[in-house]
Structure 1
Amino acid sequence: MIWTIISGLIVGALLGFVMQRTRFCLTGGFRDMYVQKSNKMFYALLIAITIQSIGLLILSAAGVYQLSYEAFPVVGTIIGSFVFGVGIILAGGCATGTWYRAGEGLIGSWIALFMYALSASATKFGFLKPVLDKINSKTVVSSSMTETTGIPFWVFVVVLAAVTLFFVNRSLSKKSAAVPQLKQRYTGIRHYLFEKRYHTFTAAVVIGLIALLAWPMSISTGRVGGLGITTPSAKLVQFITTGNVSLLDWGVFLVLGIVAGSYIAAKGSREFRWRLPDIKTIRNSVIGGVMMGFGASMAGGCSIGNGMVATATMSWQGWLSLVFMILGTWFMSYFVFVRPMQQYKKSAKTKAVAQTA
């Protein structure tokens, strides 16, 4: 039990620290693909997936871990991922992003996090479970890309690595603004830990390595898997309400570690402060949190569990989920960002015409 606590907290703290310091946000990345036509964060996600998939290939060859797959519901994955994508735009962050932003002192993220964990618990273990079971009992197929196509796992890894290198190289070859640096207050290691700004791709490499580290660390406690956010969040709520200590597994300490790591990073960089949201943000945080918990539970994972981990194992569920997750963010981004901007420009143009008339 002690090693479960320690190893889960270590991986979580590392993840929370790096994500907070590098502002690694998949929600913003998916949104920017549509709103700003920028794919940089998506390419960063591909880097993290590629590093993890190469590592899993090595771990599998070394006999440390053997990839295994479960059947998954196609319809449930599509619906759940789309709902999750809509929810993260409203909540202002995905599952992991909400955890690490809570460590910065954002009250809105705490609200979204509570509703996300509560909704996930209700869907996985509570009154919404019959709905989940009914939808996910349909269209259940094998998730293994290797089993369904006959193509070896290593071939998919090589193709993914080649695609990732192509897009990263093309992105880096374009002229881009230098990463802004703050006025230096610290020296030595403190400067590199709490002040220096890092390129998004550098952050992706580190996060990919942390995601890979999660596998052997988790396996050493008897839990076979990588990073996971939704089920541990639901279990944490279950533990709080029932006191069942058996619910406190490696994943629960992982998510608690994310908050701790983010808090350390925010305090060290002087970015921590309690921030109270306005009424609109509170409303969106509640609605978004509920949709995140329900959607991720139905889809079998969030932007990390499906979008980063399942994709690295070459699971159809992971890649299908990632596609519809992105579509969900684009759908909601139109109403939250694009449409208001269009209306503002139209109004400004009308006023300008009226003034010149």
Structure 2
Amino acid sequence: MFQMIVTGLLCGALLGFVMQRGRFCLTGGFRDMYIAKDYRMFYALLIAIAVQSIGVYTLIQFGAIEFVAGEFSWVATIIGSFIFGIGIVFAGGCATGTWYRAGEGLLGSWIALFGYMFMSAVMKSGVLVPVDQSMKSVKISTNSIAESTGISVWVYIVVFIAIVLWLIVRELKKPKIAIPTMKSKRTGLSHLLFEKRWHPFFTALLVGGIAILAWPLSEATGRMAGLGITTPSANILQFLVSGNQEYINWGVFLVLGIFLGSFTAAKGSREFRFRMPDVKTGISSFLGGNLMGFGASLAGGCSIGNGLVMTAMMTWQGWVSLLFIILGTWTASYFVFVRPKNKKNTVVSDTTVTA
């Protein structure tokens, strides 16, 4: 138990600290792809996937860890991921983003987090278990892309790395936009950790490294998986309600560590402060959190479990899920951001013509 607590909290704290300082927000990244045509955060995610893929499959090659891709519940993955994508827009952050933003004192994220934990628990051990099981019963026996095609996983990894490198080089060649910054009052390590703006690609390298570290640390405690947010989040609420210690595992301390790491980073950078949302935002956050919990549970993972980890493991579940999370985010972004703006512009234009 002591090992589980220490390594889980440590890994989570590192992830929370890095994500908070690097503003590693996949919700904003997916949204910006559609609205602003800004792909930097998406490219950052691809970097983290590539780093993790190399590291984890190297560990597997040397027998340090084990991984079984399992089956692919394609209907549940598609529907669940799309709903999850919609939910993260209303919640104002994905699963991990909600945890780390809660650590910054954003009370709207606390509301979203409760909705997320509640619905995840309902899906995993409550009245919606039959729905979850029924939709997951439609599946394909092989989830591994390599096993399905008969091509070595290393071929896919090498091709993927080549694509990512090409995208990075192309992005870095673009003209840089000057960002005004305040004169630093700190020097040395303190400045680098708490004041200097972290580049998303640098942040992605760190996230990928932490994702690799999660595998052996987690498996050492008997949990045969890497980073995961949805099930551990549900486990916290299930433990609090039932008192059953079987719900306590390495993943629970991972997500608690994310909160602590983010809090530390926010305090150190003077970004921590309690912010109360208005009623509309609070309702939206709770609704979004419930959609996140339902969708991630159904899909077998969130933007981290599927979008970062299962993609790195070169599974159908991971890449199909990532695609439909993005499509769900774009759909919600259209109705939340684009359509209202277009209506407002139309009204202003009509008023001008009438005048």
Give unpaired runs (5+ residues) of structure 2. none
**1:68 equivalent in alignment to 2:68:** yes
Output one character per residue of 1:171-211: Cα deviation in whole Å (capped at 9) or x when no partner: 11111214553431222211111111011111111111111
Determine whether 1:184 maps to 2:222.
Answer: no
Q: Is the 8 A contact 1:74 1:139 kept in 2?
A: yes
Paired AA for residue 276 in structure 2: L
8 Å contact from structure 2 (residues 66, 224) kept in 1 = no
- Structure 1 residue 67: deviation in Å? 3.1
Supply the distance in 1 between the matched residues of 2:118 and 2:9 (Cα, whole angstroms): 22
Compute the RMSD of aligned alpha carbons: 1.1
| Structure 1 letter corresponding to 2:272 | F
Q: In the alignment, residue 269 of structure 2 is paired with which amino acid?
A: S
1:29-48 pair list within 5 angstroms? 29-48=29-48
Which secondary structure does the structure 1 equivalent of 2:72 belong to?
Answer: strand
Where does 1:113-262 land on structure 2 (aligned, <5 Å)? 113-178=113-178, 180-262=180-262
Question: For the residues of structure 2 that align with 1:319 and 1:182, how far apart are their CA atoms?
Answer: 40
2:267 match: 267
Q: Which digits, 9 at most, give the CA deviation of each residue in 1:192-233, with x for residues without a partner?
A: 111110111111111111111111111222211110000000
Distance in 1 between residues matched to 2:207 and 2:181, nearest whole Å: 21
- Give distance in 1, aligned partners of 2:141 and 2:318: 13
Q: Using the alignment, how far apart are the partners of 2:120 and 2:23 within structure 1?
A: 25
**SS of the residue 1:177 aligns to:** coil
Q: Which residue number corresponds to residue 104 of structure 1?
A: 104
Higher mean C-alpha deviation, range 177-186 or range 59-68: 177-186
* Paired residue total: 355
Q: Is the 8 A contact 1:44 1:200 kept in 2?
A: yes
Q: Secondary structure at the match of 1:142?
A: coil
- Indicate conservation of the 8 Å contact 1:296/1:302, yes or no: yes
TM-superposed deviation, 1:353? 2.2
Q: Which residue of 1 aligns with 2:321?
A: 321
**What's 1:295 paired with?**
295
The superposition leaves residues 80-104 of structure 1 with CA deviations (integer Å, 9 ceiling, x where unpaired) of 0000000000000000000000000
CA contact (8 A) 1:84 1:302 kept: yes
Distance between the aligned counterparts of 2:200 and 2:180, measured in 1?
A: 12
SS in 2 for 1:141: coil
In structure 2, the partner of 1:337 is 337
Question: Do the aligned residues in 2 keep the contact of 1:14 with 1:258 (CA within 8 Å)?
Answer: yes
C-alpha distance in 1 between matches for 2:188 and 2:105: 27
Q: CA deviation at 1:150?
A: 0.3
Give 2:337's aligned amino acid. F
Contact 2:67/2:225 (CA < 8 Å) preserved in 1? no
Is the contact made by 2:71 and 2:139 (CA closer than 8 Å) also made in structure 1?
A: no
- Structure 1 distance, partners of 2:345, 2:106, is 31
**1:204/1:251 Cα in 2 relative to 1: closer, same or farther (>3 Å)?**
same
Question: Does structure 2 conserve the Cα–Cα contact (< 8 Å) formed by 1:16 and 1:258?
Answer: yes
Q: Alignment partner of 2:272: what SS? A: coil
Q: Distance in 1 between matches of 2:44 and 2:182?
A: 23
Q: Which residue is 1:84 aligned to?
A: 84
Off by >4 Å, runs of 4+ in structure 1? none
C-alpha change, 1:274 and 1:303, in structure 2 (3 Å) is same
Deviates more, 1:198-207 or 1:303-312: 198-207
Cα shift at 1:39 = 1.1
Amino acid at match of 1:241: V
What is the rounded CA distance, in whole Å, between the counterparts of 1:254 and 1:178 in structure 2? 36
Please give the TM-score of this superposition, normalised by the length of structure 1: 0.97
Q: Give unmatched runs, 5+ long, in structure 1.
A: none
2:90–2:285 Cα contact (<8 Å) kept:
yes
